[in-house]
Amino acid sequence: MNTLNGKVALITGGASGIGRATAILFAQEGAAVAVVDINAEQGQAVVQEIESQGERAIFILCDVTRAEDCRRAVDTSLELLGRLDILFNNAGIIRRADVVELTEAEWDQVMAVNVKSVFLMSKYAVPVMIKAGGGSIINTGSGWGLKGGRNAVSYCASKGAVVNMTRAMAIDYGPQKIRVNCICPGDTDTPMLRNEANQLDQPIYQFLAEAADRPLRRYAQPVEIAQAVLYLASDASSYMTGATLVVDGGGLA
């Protein structure tokens, strides 16, 4: 459909899961994509897959918790792709533990990857978008950013922060025609989801069965979340900003 024809998108956490699915979908819709991740091998593989379909993509190695890396990611996107229209702040991790079991280092790591990265990437991307006359930022929240979850205190705290950061950024930059929205997925079949079973020392079949316990009786596939991100990135959502879009198979219901 080429709904993103001529656009350039930067996607953090683009090497796997929802980020990978979104990068591929955006490219199919006409965007040039900067795949940003700390995993070079998987990130390069995503770029090669996109290029094999005749679309344009680059990989940028980046630790999203480091200001210099984030600045360089934005600068490299501009240098190699010419502009920046869409920022998908998607990088994230989870540590399954309560406040007693969670270590201080684990707390700091979750907050750095899930929250600080949104601040840093936006810090460098927003001035570029203002200069260009506007843009779209999508932040990855979670259903657990809107309600609590068992043994996931740092993740819940971080995603709650992302939801409210989204609202604050939408207020700040609406006058500059930058829309800022939040996607809140439910359980999605990604490496991160399966890693949760290991963290909880739970059989994977049991964990996935619990993840599917929602009205639609299944967990999501990454492309289903990517389709919602595409909507928020495109002009189809031109009057949406500061919004939280829940895509969770009815889990919160």
**pLDDT score at 51:** 98
CB atoms inside a 10 Å sphere around CB 73: 25
How far is Cα 163 from Cα 180, in angstroms, rounded to an integer?
Answer: 10
**pLDDT score at 68:** 98
Residue at token pair 């240098």: 79
User: Cβ distance 143 to 185 under 8 Å?
Assistant: yes
How far is Cα 145 from Cα 134, in angstroms, rounded to an integer?
Answer: 27
Residue 219: active-site member: no
How far is Cα 157 from Cα 131, in angstroms, rounded to an integer?
Answer: 33
pTM of the model: 0.97
Q: Per the structure block, which two tokens stand in for 35?
A: 């795949």
Going by C-alpha positions, the residue among 182, 65, 176, 67 that lies closest to residue 127 is 176
Q: Of residues 124, 155, 173, 219, which has the active-site annotation?
A: 155
**pLDDT score at 23:** 98
Domains along the chain with CATH numbers: 8-190+221-246 (3.40.50.720)
Q: Per the structure block, which two tokens stand in for 123?
A: 């810090």
Alpha-carbon distance values, 112 to 38, 109, 214 (Å): 14, 5, 30
Please, what are the averages of pLDDT over each run of 10 residues along the chain (253 residues)?
Answer: 94 98 98 98 98 97 98 98 98 97 98 98 98 98 96 98 98 98 97 92 93 96 98 98 98 95
Going by C-alpha positions, the residue among 161, 184, 153, 165 that lies closest to residue 249 is 184
**pLDDT score at 1:** 67
Going by C-alpha positions, the residue among 69, 184, 74 that lies closest to residue 129 is 74
How far is Cα 18 from Cα 144, in angstroms, rounded to an integer?
Answer: 17
**pLDDT score at 67:** 98
